[in-house]
């Protein structure tokens, strides 16, 4: 039981990170119908940006307060990652709109390879680790029991930041003119354009939001695990994509639910079965969902029009 509760806590933390990345996949897929393969690598780049910002703040500027540092790191990472994703959309995807179906996907794969190798060349192939900090935990079980169930402050930070940003983001999509424009473009781009919505701009903003959430995930990932390397984009990217598919691609609450589920499945699998095969479990879920439940938990069934 204690193991289960502990894994539940770990799983929700991991799932929050996956959920944040998954929203990027689901939004981009919703609006232009492409699998943004490079999104996992955008996430990885954002973790690097957060790493550099953190080092800059702590070692050069000497900011001691954890909360202020984290806040600034988040803002910096969100800004630069958004710029990156905006530029990627401009350079690699926009010219391909209206091209044949697989062209943007292939371009995105190229971009993914480019980004991970760019980071490898620019920052070196070694795993970067930050000095351990903020390691206090809250022990939930009484001291007498054998197994300690603990929640670390880091995990609470991950939950709070994720929840806060999800709320901001939900507000943006459901209550503002921008969100309405986005949903209009999702449904019918031509009609939206006729009604005076700048479709290109809306798509750009979608990429910017996706990147900002990926940057939050990247910062949380860096803080939670304390390490990042150039190869860290691929597997979390695929898992987050799995989450998006599992939740129903195109559905925002679905992405969050999918992310939490994938995080829980992964930690439970590692705890009760075999840690070696945890990635196999995630990839299998992807295949199984795609085959048996392609519309996901909350997604609309995909009707093919001729």
Which is nearer to other proteins, 156 or 200 (by Cβ)? 200
Count of alpha carbons within 13 angstroms of residue 105, beta-carbon side: 7
Write out the H or E segment, with its range, that includes residue 139: strand 137-139
Which is nearer to other proteins, 124 or 140 (by Cβ)? 124
What's the length of the chain?
A: 306
Nearest distance from residue 88's CB to other proteins, in Å?
9
Determine the 3-state secondary structure of 88 from DSSP. Answer: helix
How far, in Å, CA of 258 to CA of 298, rounded?
9
Which is nearer to other proteins, 168 or 287 (by Cβ)? 287
Which is nearer to other proteins, 49 or 252 (by Cβ)? 49
Which tokens in the block code for residue 159? 């939950």
Which is nearer to other proteins, 166 or 205 (by Cβ)? 205
Nearest distance from residue 80's CB to other proteins, in Å?
5
Nearest distance from residue 187's CB to other proteins, in Å?
13
Nearest distance from residue 92's CB to other proteins, in Å?
5
Report yes or no: 241 and 214 within 8 Å, Cβ to Cβ.
Answer: no
- Of the candidates 218, 205, 169, which has an alpha carbon nearest to the alpha carbon of residue 39? 218
Nearest distance from residue 304's CB to other proteins, in Å?
7
Which is nearer to other proteins, 168 or 280 (by Cβ)? 280
- Of the candidates 100, 95, 101, 118, which has an alpha carbon nearest to the alpha carbon of residue 38? 118
Write out the H or E segment, with its range, that includes residue 274: none
Nearest distance from residue 44's CB to other proteins, in Å?
11
How far, in Å, CA of 28 to CA of 50, rounded?
23
**Which residues lie closer than 8 Å to 97 by C-beta, 6 or more apart?**
32, 104
């Amino acid at each position: 039981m204690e193991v289960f509760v502990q894994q539940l806590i770990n799983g929700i933390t991991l799932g929050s990170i996956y959920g944040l990345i998954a929203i990027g996949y689901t939004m981009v897929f919703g609006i232009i119908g492409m699998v943004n393969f490079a999104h996992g690598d955008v996430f990885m780049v954002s973790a690097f940006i957060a790493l550099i910002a953190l080092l800059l703040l702590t070692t050069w500027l000497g900011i001691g307060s954890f909360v202020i540092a984290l806040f600034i790191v988040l803002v910096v990472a969100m800004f630069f990652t958004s710029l990156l994703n905006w530029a990627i959309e401009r350079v690699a995807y926009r010219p391909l709109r209206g091209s044949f179906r697989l062209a943007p996907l292939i371009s995105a794969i190229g971009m993914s390879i480019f980004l991970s190798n760019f980071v490898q060349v620019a920052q070196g192939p070694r795993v970067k680790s930050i000095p351990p900090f903020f390691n206090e935990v809250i022990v939930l079980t009484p001291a007498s029991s054998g197994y300690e169930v603990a929640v670390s402050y880091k995990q609470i930070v991950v939950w709070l930041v994720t929840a806060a940003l999800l709320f901001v983001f939900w507000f943006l999509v459901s209550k503002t003119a921008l969100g309405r424009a986005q949903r209009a473009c999702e449904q019918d781009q031509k009609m939206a354009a006729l009604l005076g919505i700048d479709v290109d701009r809306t798509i750009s903003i979608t990429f910017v939001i996706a990147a900002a959430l990926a940057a939050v995930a990247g910062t949380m990932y860096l803080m939670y695990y304390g390490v990042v390397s150039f190869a860290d984009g691929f597997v979390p990217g695929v898992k987050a994509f799995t989450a998006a598919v599992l939740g129903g691609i195109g559905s925002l609450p679905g992405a969050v639910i999918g992310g939490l589920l994938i995080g829980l499945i992964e930690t439970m699998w590692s705890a009760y079965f075999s840690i070696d095969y945890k990635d196999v479990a995630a990839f299998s879920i992807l295949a199984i969902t795609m085959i048996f439940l392609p519309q996901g938990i909350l997604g609309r069934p995909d009707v093919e029009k001729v």
